[in-house]
Structure 1
């Protein structure tokens, strides 16, 4: 219940001076259907990356809001939901909860990002700056996040 409460708060947008630049190094990902993508090919796009797991209570708490955000922006923003779990476990979780977003597994450690705890979510603008870097559960379908996305997509 505590995690659900924490997932009600909107993540903070980084101050311009605090933003980090992504270098778009090669990072191979594969979705549950077997399709591969390379992170470097996403340069110039707005990207939301969520590192999570099916066993993680804070991850589970923020998923409904991430699904709503995905539904609203899936044609405009690249969503990378990344888990290191087996395909069958991920597919079962998505099916049980009726989530429609695609989940990826990393075929190599991402050289761009150090992930020491989950959930960790990053919002990257078209210029490659990390606008939001949030560890822990948050409300990703908040007015703040939607306004930020709308500004990034202009």
Structure 2
């Protein structure tokens, strides 16, 4: 019987698997892989016949300082809603694009980034990474059209409550396609 010789690719593969098993290295590797996906994956606009609607409502949330707020959704202003978490590699990978989009459209679009984590943990996370995003903890159950069990899940909702984009998984939110869509929705 012939002995199998180890190749350098076998060693690299074994090291990669080992790194995935170590908690301290797993998340950075997963974020890096998802960042590659974000670089090529732009969110898709729902076909008109598949677009659902939410009845305009007030989203009751608590900000990271503990203040209760009520944010309008589907009431005359475009809304971007993101369900995410600090421990979620795809969420971490897409946050830089969301930050860039927020920097450009904060005055024209309602941004609502929702997490179920403690405000202290979220504050440490955003401070460490230098984000300045409107992050909230929901205080109500979302309407049925906005309920999804996967994170990240992001929605772009027009001023009348139509869900124009529903994207589950990491995506490039700072793409030309998304910016053109927002510009068109804001002009309406």
TM-score range, shorter chain: over 0.9
Kindly indicate whether the alpha-carbon contact (under 8 Å) linking 2:51 and 2:162 is maintained by their aligned counterparts in 1.
Answer: yes
Change in 2 beyond 3 A, CA 1:128/1:96: same
2:35 matches 1:4? yes
Note the C-alpha offset of 1:115. Answer: 2.0
Moved segments of 4+, more than 4 Å = 39-42
Kindly indicate whether the alpha-carbon contact (under 8 Å) linking 1:84 and 1:105 is maintained by their aligned counterparts in 2.
Answer: yes
Q: Which has the larger displacement, 26-35 or 73-82? A: 26-35
Match of 1:38 in 2: 70
Match of 2:95 in 1: 63
Which structure has the greater CA radius of gyration?
2
Match of 2:126 in 1: 94
Unaligned runs of 5+ in 1: none
Q: Secondary structure at the match of 2:62?
A: strand
Unaligned runs of 5+ in 2: 1-31
Q: Of the two structures, which has the highest relative contact order with CA contacts closer than 8 Å and spacing of 6 or more?
A: 1
Task: Output the CA distance in 2 between the equivalents of 1:145 and 1:27.
Answer: 23
- Work out the number of aligned pairs and report it: 154
Kindly indicate whether the alpha-carbon contact (under 8 Å) linking 2:117 and 2:137 is maintained by their aligned counterparts in 1.
Answer: yes
Change in 2 beyond 3 A, CA 1:41/1:20: closer
Q: Secondary structure at the match of 1:72?
A: helix
2:147 matches 1:114? yes
TM-score where L is the length of structure 1: 0.94
Kindly indicate whether the alpha-carbon contact (under 8 Å) linking 1:27 and 1:111 is maintained by their aligned counterparts in 2.
Answer: no
Note the C-alpha offset of 1:66. Answer: 0.5
Greater helix fraction, Structure 1 or Structure 2 = 2
Q: Which has the larger displacement, 108-117 or 58-67? A: 108-117
Q: Secondary structure at the match of 1:29?
A: strand
Task: Output the CA distance in 1 between the equivalents of 2:52 and 2:74.
Answer: 17
2:157 matches 1:124? yes
Task: Output the CA distance in 2 between the equivalents of 1:47 and 1:65.
Answer: 16
The superposition leaves residues 8-58 of structure 1 with CA deviations (integer Å, 9 ceiling, x where unpaired) of 211001111111111134541111122322344661110000000000000
